[in-house]
Chains A and B, each alone.
Chain A
Amino acid sequence: MTDARKWQLLLGIPAVLLLFVFLIMPLAGMVEMSFRTAGSNAPYGDGFTAVHYARVLGDGFYMATLLRSLVTAAIVTLLCLIVSYPLAWHLSTARGGKALFLYACIASPLMTGVLVRNFGWMIVVAIDGPLNASLMGLGFISRPLRVMFTQGLVIMALVHVFIPFMVLPINNALRNINPALSEASLSLGASRLSTFFRVTLPLSFPGIQPGVILVFVLSVAAYVTPALLGGQMVNLMPTLIIRELTGTFAWPFGSTLAIVMSIATLSIVVAFSLLTARLMERVRA
């Protein structure tokens, strides 16, 4: 092994250590916990069992909640993509100081803490809040809307905070597209719309793919926003898991829910990557 190669391996050690201690070990602990028996007067018992998996997979309530979580995440991801793409496009054409300003604007949802941001939403959408006041003032509605504790609000709040994770990779991909390609397409007779769908969109896929995966994974796992803005009315997997782990202290069952959710999410991400592998292979520089 050459010296340079040795150094390269050494450089990886801190990251590997960190991941091992703070990701692999806890995850292994979770898997172990999910096979423990339930305890009486204790979070878990001494023996091992697969009964929790049978319960999660066999119970319509948990499967429905898992499905609702995945569908909600898919909606958030799709809306995020639709809102972010034009934004990313605009950002990719900006240069210098203007680009810097726009980057700051786009990153702004991440600059406030999660609690502050969600209490902000509560104030905005409250029955006597500014949203209802202005909609009534403009005459669109005659009675205030009840927005608080709806799935729509949860989705809107998640889209808002995850936009940067979608905009930044797409912006990067768009910046990497040779501008002569759209000119070539136009000169060959394609309209601007055809040029977008046949050239720009497929070539921006190296940004769409990571954006979609990031936002989807973050949305499935989001806890604080659904808990605060959805409350008891919007049941999603993370809320359920936390309730089991810290509400009823059923650690093995809570772990099982968490593992099932992770496996479901991972399967979807893997399927999405496999389905788009051919396109990615083609457009990779």
Chain B
Amino acid sequence: MAKVKVKSLTKRYGAVTALDGVTLDAESGELISLLGPSGCGKSTTLRCVAGFLSPDSGDISVNDQSIVSTPSNRRDFGVVFQNYALFPHMTVAQNVGYGLLFRKIPKSEHGPRIENALRMVRLTGLADRLPKALSGGQQQRVALARALVIEPRLLLLDEPLANLDARLRDEVRWLIREVQQQSGTTAFYVTHDQAEAMAISDKVAVMKSGKVAQFATPRDIYQRPSERYVADFTGEANFLAARVLDASAGRFRIEVAGQTLDVPGVASLKAGDTAELLLRPESLSLDMDGASPRSLFTGVVSKAAFLGASQHCEISLGTGGVLKLAAPPNTSIAAGEQVGISVALEHAWLMPEVKP
């Protein structure tokens, strides 16, 4: 059981700042995702935590004890790599048992522990094979078993699914979450796939050029993002420029597209600020009979694509701007039609405008 804190981690390579004050924390047993595009610093953060890199400044602590100067072989962390990193000259059992060799565990216990770990990742009967005789999914299971058999204080996963095909990715993803929860191991999980991060994490840190843009639950980063970057990265999003007229306790009266609306938003906004209104496609619905009294906006269908379970539409608003939304599959929509759009205002979200 381990509580992990990462505080103001900074790492520079020459003139490039790879990490710029990264702060995160994980309660015991939580799975924390580091999410972002390549080069955002998520892997660098993980490598600092694993001890493969030493940060220029900042601190990493486990149960309130700093481990930043502890070498990686004394941190007691299990690491799962993107390319599996199984030892090719050792059998599956030897790979899984590797970490036991360096711990004060009687030899007689190795066999049962290895067996147990392999059963946990649902991989039995392959103990004597070499890694190259296994599929990618099986290799990653071995890697997971190898990291868990030492009962690590912290499990670190660096894009563990990136080399697997889509079907296996789903399967292994749920397996990772299952064994992580079963063993109660605190885990850091690096990924560039927002769906993956949201599905299995207790909390997600969305990273942007070496900084944590937002650190919150999957629901919060999707529905209550701190800025446009986060909203964009976590899913389909529409943005409308807005101006704050009045603010009180996280509710805002705003002016947007010629209308005055009441919406929730980021608490730090003040009256007079320029802001952006986030409207997720699923909080919008089409009013097919032109503009009805419920319609907040009116516009013309500029694009419509039938996807099977839904239809993807883009509506050009009369006041400028485009809204993307998903319409139900059984209404017929054609480009050029005049439509109204209703908005579930409780699911709209106001964010400060951040200059890129």
A interface residue numbers (CB < 8 A to B): 178, 180-181, 183-192, 194, 198-199, 202-203, 279, 282-283, 285
Q: Mark contacts of B126-137 with chain A using CB atoms, 8 A cut-off: 1 yes-contact digit, 0 otherwise.
A: 000010100000
Chain B, residue nearest A278 (CB): B89
A90, B266: Cα distance in complex, Å: 54
| A183/B87 contact (C-beta < 8 A), A188-B102, A194-B102 known | no
In the complex, the answer to whether B77 meets A187 with C-beta atoms within 8 Å is yes
Chain B, residue nearest A187 (CB): B79
| Residues of chain B in range 255-286 having any CB-CB distance to chain A below 8 Å | none
In the complex, the answer to whether B73 meets A184 with C-beta atoms within 8 Å is no
In the complex, the answer to whether A188 meets B146 with C-beta atoms within 8 Å is yes
Write the nearest CB–CB distance from A21 to chain B, whole angstroms: 41
In the complex, the answer to whether B73 meets A282 with C-beta atoms within 8 Å is no
A180, B88: Cα distance in complex, Å: 12
Q: A186-B72, A198-B98 are in contact. List 7 more A-B contacts (CB 8 A).
A: A180-B83, A183-B52, A183-B72, A187-B77, A188-B146, A199-B87, A203-B88
From the candidates A178, A188, A191, name the one contacting B98 in the complex (CB within 8 A).
Answer: A188
Write the nearest CB–CB distance from A209 to chain B, whole angstroms: 14
B144 within 8 Å of A (CB atoms): no
A192, B51: Cα distance in complex, Å: 13
A188, B155: Cα distance in complex, Å: 11
| Residues of chain B in range 48-85 having any CB-CB distance to chain A below 8 Å | 50-52, 71-79, 81, 83, 85
The A contact surface, by secondary structure, is helix
A199, B87: Cα distance in complex, Å: 7
- What are 28 residue pairs bridging A and B, where the CB atoms are less than 8 Å apart in the complex? A178-B83, A180-B81, A180-B85, A183-B52, A183-B72, A183-B79, A183-B81, A184-B79, A184-B85, A185-B87, A186-B72, A187-B73, A187-B78, A187-B79, A188-B78, A188-B150, A189-B103, A190-B98, A190-B102, A191-B73, A194-B102, A198-B98, A203-B87, A203-B88, A203-B89, A279-B89, A282-B89, A282-B130
Q: Contacts of A283 on B, CB cut-off 8 Å? A: 88-89
| A189/B102 contact (C-beta < 8 A), A183-B72, A183-B85 known | yes
Q: Contacts of A183 on B, CB cut-off 8 Å? A: 50, 52, 72, 79, 81, 85
Q: Contacts of A186 on B, CB cut-off 8 Å? A: 51-52, 71-73
Write the nearest CB–CB distance from A273 to chain B, whole angstroms: 17
Chain B, residue nearest A189 (CB): B102
Write the nearest CB–CB distance from B67 to chain A, whole angstroms: 13
Write the nearest CB–CB distance from B98 to chain A, whole angstroms: 5
B99 within 8 Å of A (CB atoms): yes
Write the nearest CB–CB distance from B93 to chain A, whole angstroms: 14
A191, B99: Cα distance in complex, Å: 11
A185, B50: Cα distance in complex, Å: 12
Among A184, A188, A199, A203, the most chain B Cβ lie within 10 Å of the Cβ of A188
Report, as a range, how many residues of chain B touch the other chain: 20 to 34
B interface residue numbers (CB < 8 A to A): 50-52, 71-79, 81, 83, 85-89, 98-99, 101-103, 130, 132, 146-147, 150, 156
Among A178, A184, A285, the most chain B Cβ lie within 10 Å of the Cβ of A184
From the candidates A180, A189, A194, name the one contacting B150 in the complex (CB within 8 A).
Answer: A189
A191, B310: Cα distance in complex, Å: 56
A185, B85: Cα distance in complex, Å: 9
Q: Contacts of B89 on A, CB cut-off 8 Å? A: 202-203, 279, 282-283
Q: Contacts of B75 on A, CB cut-off 8 Å? A: 187
A251, B72: Cα distance in complex, Å: 66
Write the nearest CB–CB distance from A279 to chain B, whole angstroms: 7
Q: Contacts of A180 on B, CB cut-off 8 Å? A: 81, 83, 85
In the complex, the answer to whether B73 meets A190 with C-beta atoms within 8 Å is yes
In the complex, the answer to whether A184 meets B81 with C-beta atoms within 8 Å is yes
Q: Contacts of B130 on A, CB cut-off 8 Å? A: 282
From the candidates B50, B76, B85, B156, name the one contacting A189 in the complex (CB within 8 A).
Answer: B76
From the candidates B50, B73, B85, B101, name the one contacting A181 in the complex (CB within 8 A).
Answer: B85
Chain A, residue nearest B71 (CB): A186
| A189/B99 contact (C-beta < 8 A), A180-B81, A180-B83 known | yes
Write the nearest CB–CB distance from A181 to chain B, whole angstroms: 5
A191, B146: Cα distance in complex, Å: 17
Write the nearest CB–CB distance from A144 to chain B, whole angstroms: 49
A183, B101: Cα distance in complex, Å: 16
A202, B87: Cα distance in complex, Å: 10
In the complex, the answer to whether B99 meets A285 with C-beta atoms within 8 Å is no
Chain B, residue nearest A282 (CB): B89
Q: Contacts of B103 on A, CB cut-off 8 Å? A: 189
Chain B, residue nearest A279 (CB): B89
In the complex, the answer to whether B73 meets A178 with C-beta atoms within 8 Å is no
A282, B98: Cα distance in complex, Å: 17
Among A180, A181, A187, the most chain B Cβ lie within 10 Å of the Cβ of A187
Q: Contacts of A189 on B, CB cut-off 8 Å? A: 73-74, 76, 99, 102-103, 150
Chain B, residue nearest A180 (CB): B85
A186, B87: Cα distance in complex, Å: 13
A191, B102: Cα distance in complex, Å: 9
A178, B85: Cα distance in complex, Å: 7
Q: Contacts of B85 on A, CB cut-off 8 Å? A: 178, 180-181, 183-184
Chain A, residue nearest B97 (CB): A188
Chain A, residue nearest B52 (CB): A183
In the complex, the answer to whether B88 meets A282 with C-beta atoms within 8 Å is yes
A3, B32: Cα distance in complex, Å: 58
In the complex, the answer to whether A185 meets B98 with C-beta atoms within 8 Å is yes
Q: Contacts of B72 on A, CB cut-off 8 Å? A: 183, 186-187
Chain A, residue nearest B99 (CB): A188
- Top 4 nearest A-B pairs (CB, nearest first) are A188-B99, A189-B102, A180-B85, A187-B79
Write the nearest CB–CB distance from A194 to chain B, whole angstroms: 7
